[in-house]
Structure 1
Amino acid sequence: MLEGRDWYAVSGATAEALTQLRMVAPESLPARYLNLLAFSDGGEGPLAVQPYNLCLDSAMTVAETINSENNGQADLQGFLIFGSNGGGEYLAFDTREEAPWPVVVIDMVAGGNSASVIAPDFDAFYDRIGFEAEVA
């Protein structure tokens, strides 16, 4: 997984952590997302699309964020945050849509109203992980 890509992996998620995430998350979590967590429960690398960096949250962090309803931020209702760019933007699934959910970037200050789609689904997003953006 992620072979030939720039990715700073950590140990994979435990079966217990993945089970906990599945228990609190919507039913349609993409298999490829869960496989990524099983490979690297967190980690960081470049992203070939804006916001150009992915800091992947661990399965337990995502589960805790879901349980706290996005840390009580009402304007983030309907988004399942799974990481950030490490500098002021969340990466999330837009669960207000039907699955497969689009992947969006959200400005941490502006909130949910700033969400913009960066991939139509997690499979398309995954294909951009670990690669630098091409400069035109």
Structure 2
Amino acid sequence: MKRLFFPGSFDPITLGHLDIIKRARVISDELIIGIGENSDKKCLYSLEERINFISKSINPKSNVKIMSYKGLTSDFCLKIKASAIIRGIRSFKDFEYEKDIAEINRKLIGIETLFFLSDSKYSFISSSIVRELILNKGDYSLFVPNAVKNSR
């Protein structure tokens, strides 16, 4: 069984994330969306809110699960017996960073990372930019699903 793991903070989930989820679920028997809990990171939305946003946005089907985890992504991959990690790539800068992480994960636990190139209409969207827009009362509605739009 191909169990793919898509980790992230999803603070908040964006249309770019949803595009990756839609494409990854097609090639997997099971797709696990993992929301990383990092006590050092100040999130705009609570874990419960982020789970709720994702649930409402993906219309979960039987092959998608949403889980939270703490600690190393590689450790969680072992725990859930993931076949591969999914990562979205928006730019060369993303690729350079993600390539190094992928190499570390391959060396640590032998897991491969599958890179999905972002659709060009989403390649400029990031959760960081959306958070800045939200915090500064900017219009972020074009970049997030309805579940996030309707939360404020």
Higher relative contact order (CA 8 A, sep 6+): 2
- Higher relative helix content: 2
TM-score of the pair, normalised by structure 2: 0.28
The structure with the largest alpha-carbon Rg is 2
